[in-house]
Structure 1
Amino acid sequence: MTQIDQAADIREGEELDVAAVDRFMKSAIPDLTGEPVIRQYPGGASNLTYQVDYGDRSYVLRRPPFGKIAKSAHDMLREARVMRALKPVYPYVPDIIAICDDHDVLGCDFYVMERLKGIILRQDFPEDLELNEADTRKLCLSVIDKMVDLHRVDPRAAGLDSLGKGEGYVQRQIGGWSDRFRKARTDDVGDFEAVMAWLNDKMPNDIAQVVIHNDFRFDNVVLNPDNPFEVIGVLDWEMATIGDPLMDLGNTLAYWIEADDEGPFQMLRRQPTHRPGMLTRKEVVEYYMEKSGFRADNFDFYEIYGLFRLAVIVQQIYYRFYHGQTSDKRFAVFGHAANYLEKRCKRLIEESSL
């Protein structure tokens, strides 16, 4: 059995009130006994995820980041509601155990869900997961298949048709992310105006209105430790909505870094897409379109959109670091990352036939 993903020590400044967590957990799960052991998952630069153990019973607590955050961001209650609605029609969603909107408990909204014990592929394969090239490809296809399955969910049947805002998803995304970038820009980062103008000029119409994850990556997928080709869970539903499936795929490809990509892009790699056997970005698009039936003659717009959106997310986090709203040293280089992503977007625009 390959090593199961485990939480680690809690980062300084992100500790939880153990007594408050204990009181809430025991009110939500009356047969819990003993004292909780709380640890933190190391991944993620947005919402914070903790493992809460009572002996051999293990749960996961999700809360927003500490410090000042945008009013509309990090909506824990919405995320939990989406997961509860999706669970009956998309079984890879973890069960929601309890939701808390009482800020007297932890000072924020949060929720508790079941812990799915499995493998999570972060920057590299676990040391004891040995896959040859053919098996790596099989694993890769299995994960993409779960994205295709999500895009086949009927939003109305799931009771999620009100989650989105209807037609015009592409237009709203370009306008919204452009506005967010301008508000988060710092003096040491480029203005992205040429990139935003190109995206605004080249916007296609929505190709469909489906349930989309908006952060579908390997490190949000849980694999069966006894059979790593089997996906048993999909995590992090904060940005899920009803929207265009190719925009969702563009978001995924922004993190899909290949073995022969240039050094600055390699520095951003957070998942093992560089491994021999992993599909290339081009192959991912071709496979997805073949399996899903959704098509675009030219994918350039969606790829560049995904990179721009990633740059905005990076810049929003860097803005908090730049202005002293967080002291997490991981974020010190995020301004350099945003500058690189602007250069990459501009180069792809120059090469595009759109």
Structure 2
Amino acid sequence: MSQIDQAVAIRKGEELDVAAVDRFMKQALPELTGEPVIRQYPGGASNLTYQVDYGDSAYVLRRPPFGKIAKSAHDMLREARVMEALKPVYPYVPDIVAICDDHEVLGCDFYVMQRLKGVILRQDFPADLALNEADTRKLCLNVIDKLVELHQVDARATGLDRLGKGAGYVQRQIGGWSERFRKARTDDVGDFEAVMAWLQDKMPDDIGQCVIHNDYRFDNVVLNPDNPFEVIGVLDWEMATIGDPLMDLGNSLAYWIQADDDPGMQMLRRQPTHQPGMLSREEVVAYYLDRAGLSIDSFDFYEVYGLFRLAVIIQQIYYRYYHGQTADKRFAAFGQAANYLQQRCQRLIQASKL
């Protein structure tokens, strides 16, 4: 059995009102008894995730970050409702237990879901997960397959098609993320204007419309502890919507750090995609296109878009740190990370034949 992902002590300043959580949980689940034990999952730089234990019964509570947040960001109610709609046709979604829109409880919207007891791969393999190169490749392909499977979900059957705004998804993303960056820029970070202009100029038409996750990574995938090749859960549906599948793949590849990437890219690594047996980014694209039955001349646009979007997300978090809206020291170097991503985007643009 591989090491199961565990919650830890709550970070200072991110504590929950235990009595309020207890009252809410017992209203939703009257069979609960005793006092809850609440801990926090250490991963993630966006929404906050806690484990709420009542004896042997374990639940996961998701809430927005503390402090001032961007309008329309961190929509917990939307995330929970997307999960409820998707669960019947995509079984890797955790069950929603309860949703709260009463700010008298915790001062924000939040929801509680089933805890999936499993392995989550973060920066490196757990010490007790000894995979050879062939096994690592098998795991890698299985994780990509679940993204392909998501993109093949019938959105109309779930009712999620109403999330989409129709054709023009690519154009909306470039315009939207460019606007977000300009609003979140700080004096110590580059302007990304050349990158944004290139993306605007090279935009392809949408290749299709489907349910997309928008943050599909190894640390949002839960593996069976008794069979680490088996994906039993996919987490973090905050940004799920109807959109272009190749934009979704570009988002995922922004986090896909290879063993031969430069030191700047290695500093950003948060998942074990550098391990022997993991596909390269080029191999991921080829495998995905084959499994999805798609064909394109170049993936350059989507790769640059994914890195630019990641830079905007990082910059939005850094903006909060820079202006004293959060004191979380994890975010202190995010401005440097955004600057690195601008340089990487510019190098890819210079090498592109688009």
TM-score, normalisation: structure 1: 1.00
- The answer for the alignment partner of 2:302 in structure 1 is 302
2:223 aligned residue: 223
- Residues 1:94 and 2:94 are matched in the alignment: yes
The amino acid of 1:339's aligned partner reads: N
Hey, what's the Cα distance between the residues in 2 that align with 1:276 and 1:162? Answer: 42
Q: Once the 2 structures are TM-superposed, how far is the Cα of residue 109 of structure 1 from its aligned partner?
A: 0.1
Q: Distance in 1 between matches of 2:330 and 2:65?
A: 14
Matches within 5 A, 1:235-254: 235-254=235-254
Give the corresponding residue for 1:46: 46
Shift of 1:339: 0.2
Name the aligned partner's letter for residue 319 of structure 2. Answer: Y
- Once residues 207 and 94 of structure 2 are traced to their aligned partners in structure 1, the CA distance between those partners, rounded to angstroms, is 29
Q: Structure 1 unaligned runs (5+)?
A: none
SS at match of 1:45: coil
| Cα deviation 1:47-102 (Å, max 9, x = unaligned) | 00000000110000000000000111000000000000000000000000000000
| Other-structure match for 2:314 | 314
Amino acid at match of 2:92: Y
- Corresponding letter in the other structure for 1:150: L
Q: Are 2:143 and 1:143 aligned?
A: yes
Deviation at 1:295, TM superposition (A): 2.5
Paired letter, 2:294: F
Runs of 4+ in 1 over 3 A off after TM superposition: none
Instruction: For 1:31 and 1:202, locate their aligned partners in 2 and report how far apart those are by CA, in whole Å.
Output: 57
After TM superposition, the structure 1 = structure 2 runs for residues 73-222 of structure 1, keeping only pairs within 5 Å, are: 73-222=73-222
Alignment-mate amino acid for residue 143 of structure 2: V
Aligned-pair Cα RMSD in Å: 0.4
Partner of 1:267: 267
SS in 2 for 1:222: strand
Residue of structure 1 equivalent to 2:59: 59
SS at match of 1:242: strand
Q: Distance in 2 between matches of 1:296 and 1:15?
A: 48
Aligned residue pairs: how many? Answer: 354
Aligned to 2:298, the other structure's residue is in SS state: coil
Q: What is the CA–CA distance in structure 1 between the aligned matches of 2:71 and 2:173, rounded to whole Å?
A: 18
Give distance in 2, aligned partners of 1:343 and 1:71: 29
Matching residue of 1:7: 7
Which amino acid is 2:147 matched to?
M
Query: Aligned equivalents of 2:322 and 2:126: distance in 1?
Result: 34
Aligned counterparts of 2:25 and 2:295: Cα–Cα separation in 1? 46
Displacement after TM superposition at 1:297 (Å): 1.0
CA deviations on 1:191-222 (whole Å, 9 max, x unpaired) are 00000000000000000000000000000000
1:15 to partner: Cα distance: 0.2
- Within 1, Cα distance between the matches of 2:213 and 2:297? 23
- Aligned residues: percent identity? 83
Who is 1:288 aligned against? 288
1:10-49 to 2 correspondences below 5 Å: 10-49=10-49
* 1:345 partnered with 2:333: no
The AA in structure 2 aligned to 1:117 is K
Cα displacement (A) at 1:158: 1.1
Aligned to 1:258: 258
SS in 2 for 1:223: strand
1:285 positional shift: 0.1
Instruction: Give the alignment's TM-score, normalised by structure 2.
Output: 1.00
Question: Hey, what does 2:278 align to over in structure 1?
Answer: 278
The alignment partner of 2:309 has SS state of helix
| Amino acid across the alignment from 2:10 | I
Deviations 1:156-198 (A, max 9, x none): 0111110111110000000000000000000000000000000
Partner SS, residue 39 of structure 1: strand
Cα deviation for residue 294 of structure 1 reads: 2.3
Partner secondary structure for residue 121 of structure 2: coil
Matched, 1:333 2:330: no
Q: Distance in 2 between matches of 1:271 and 1:295?
A: 28
Distance of 2:295 and 2:65 partners within structure 1: 37
Q: Which ranges of structure 2 fall in alignment gaps of 5 or more residues?
A: none
SS at match of 1:156: helix
- Separation in structure 1 between the aligned mates of residue 298 and residue 268 of structure 2, nearest angstrom: 25
